[in-house]
């Protein structure tokens, strides 16, 4: 079987709907890029950065139609505790040398001027593809090799990854079943067990049925209260239940399989 190559994930922060559609279409035609999310609001962009951990952020400085601005995003990005810093590619119509220099000081890696005659959304996508090896090499920090992650560190990385996925579909950090779901998905990834509820019941000193109920309630609440478009975008498995909500085992298996597949793709 041919080994899948590592795809660069891209977060687009742009308030021009036509440009967003063009970028999304060009990215979809590539085999080495993957769209993480699109937003025209810098506040929402910070939340999406934490949730999706993009390799590349394509940032428009002026977000008149969406809200906020690119400099605000760069300032807020410094306060995030991310496992790696995304490559920041700015696209802008702004011609102020002072503003552009400040953007560089605040962390912009490269700036593409939209007013240049050769600028196009396709050029932006091809520029990112051209930079792919350099971006990945910078992430790996090849000049300063790091020791292999310990089993505990690997587990913590998985937990953070699972938590981000559940956050994307609206499972609240306050939900009683959140930690149970994280543990259940983690166990399914690391060492599938036929009776997850019993293991969780022993760990949390609760009854198996109460553990199951808390997990299913968290799922049901997400499907009741979250935006339908988010659910369709981030949970792509077929729902077999006539209630229109994933069963507990469908949900756990979906996320375990999704994260395992992404781990294999990154190896």
Is 159 in the same domain as 130? no
The pLDDT value given to residue 142: 40
**Cα separations (Å) of 71 from 22, 49, 61, 114?**
24, 15, 7, 17
Percent of the chain having pLDDT more than 70?
93
Please indicate, yes or no, whether residues 99 and 192 belong to a single structural domain of this protein: no
CATH number for the domain spanning 257: value is 1.10.10.10
Does 208 map to a domain? yes
Specify the pLDDT at position 143. Answer: 43
Over residues 101-114, the pLDDT tens digits come to 999 999 999 999 99
Q: Model-level pTM?
A: 0.57
Q: In the structure encoding, which two tokens stand for residue 102, read together?
A: 């400040």
Mean pLDDT computed over 41-67 = 90
Tell me which DSSP letter residue 69 carries.
B
Which residues does residue 11 pair with via DSSP β-bridges, in sequence order? 37, 57
Instruction: Report helix angle 178-190 to 248-266, nearest 10.
Output: 50
* 200, containing H or E segment: helix 196-204
Residues 145-153: contacts with CB under 8 Å, at least 24 apart: none
Best CA proximity match to 45, nearest among 20, 23, 17, 74: 74
Domain extent at residue 161: 151-266
The tokens describing 148, both together, are 């292999």
Per-residue pLDDT of 205-261, as tens digits, reads 999 999 999 999 999 999 999 888 889 888 998 888 778 899 999 999 999 999 888
Helix axes 208-225 and 248-266, enclosed angle (nearest 10): 80
What is the phi-psi region of residue 205: left when phi exceeds 0, alpha when psi lies from -120 to 50, beta otherwise?
left
133 and 160: one domain? Answer: no
pLDDT score for 5: 61
8-state DSSP, 41? -
Mean pLDDT of 197-209: 93
Angle at 33 between CA 28 and CA 38, to 5 degrees: 70
CATH for 109: 3.40.50.2300
Mean of all residue pLDDT scores within the chain: 87
Rounded to an integer, what is the distance from CA 25 to the centroid of its chain?
A: 19
pLDDT, tens digit (0-9, with 9 covering 90-100), for 135-159: 888 876 644 455 566 778 778 888 8
Q: Check: CB of residue 239 under 8 Å from CB of residue 246.
A: yes
- Tell me which of 165 and 267 has the higher pLDDT: 165
Report the 10 Å Cβ neighbour count for 57: 26
Which residue matches tokens 């993957």? 34
Give 258's contacts (C-beta < 8 A, 6+ positions apart).
165
Q: Are residues 160 and 126 in the same domain?
A: no
What are the structure tokens assigned to 162, written together? 């699972």
Region 80-84: mean pLDDT is 80
pLDDT at position 19: 93
Residue 264 scores a pLDDT above 80: no
Structurally, the chain folds into a number of domains equal to 2
Q: Tens of pLDDT along 11-24?
A: 999 999 999 999 99
Percentage of the chain lying above the pLDDT 90 cut: 54
Report how far residue 166's alpha carbon sits from residue 164's, in angstroms, rounded to the nearest whole number: 5
In contact, 90 and 111? CB cutoff 8 Å = yes
Does one domain contain both 114 and 167? no
* Dihedral angle computed from the Cα positions of residues 59, 89, 79 and 13, in that order, rounded to the nearest 10 degrees: 20
Q: Do 111 and 183 reside in the same domain of the chain?
A: no
128 & 213 share domain: no
Identify the three-state secondary structure at position 59.
strand
H/E segment holding residue 33: strand 33-39
Does position 2 have pLDDT exceeding 50, yes or no? no
Do 25 and 107 belong together in one domain? yes
Last residue of a domain, one of 71, 106, 140: 140
Q: Is residue 3 part of a domain?
A: no
């Amino acid at each position: 079987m041919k080994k899948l190559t590592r795809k660069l994930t891209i977060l687009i922060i742009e308030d021009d709907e036509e440009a967003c559609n063009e970028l999304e279409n060009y990215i979809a035609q590539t085999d080495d890029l993957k769209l993480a999310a699109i937003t025209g609001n810098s506040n929402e962009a910070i939340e999406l950065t934490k949730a999706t951990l993009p390799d590349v952020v394509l940032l428009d400085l002026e977000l008149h139609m969406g809200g906020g601005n690119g400099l605000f995003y760069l300032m807020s990005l410094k306060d995030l505790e991310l496992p790696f810093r995304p490559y920041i590619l700015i696209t802008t119509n702004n011609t102020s040398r002072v503003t552009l220099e400040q953007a560089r000081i605040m962390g912009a890696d490269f700036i593409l001027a939209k007013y240049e005659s050769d600028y196009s959304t396709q050029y932006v996508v091809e520029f990112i593809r051209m930079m792919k090896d350099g971006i990945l090499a910078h992430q790996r920090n090849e000049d300063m090799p790091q020791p292999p992650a310990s089993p505990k560190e690997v587990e913590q990385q998985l937990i953070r990854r699972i938590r981000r996925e559940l956050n994307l579909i609206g499972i609240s950090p306050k939900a009683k079943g959140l930690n149970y779901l994280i543990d259940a998905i983690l166990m399914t990834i690391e060492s599938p067990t036929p009776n997850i509820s019993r293991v969780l019941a022993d760990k949390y000193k609760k009854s198996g049925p109460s553990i199951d109920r808390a997990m299913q309630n968290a799922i049901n609440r997400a499907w009741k209260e979250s935006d339908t478009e988010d659910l369709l975008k981030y949970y792509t498995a077929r729902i077999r239940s006539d209630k229109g909500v994933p069963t507990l085992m469908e949900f756990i298996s979906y996320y375990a399989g999704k994260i395992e597949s992404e781990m294999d793709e990154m190896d």
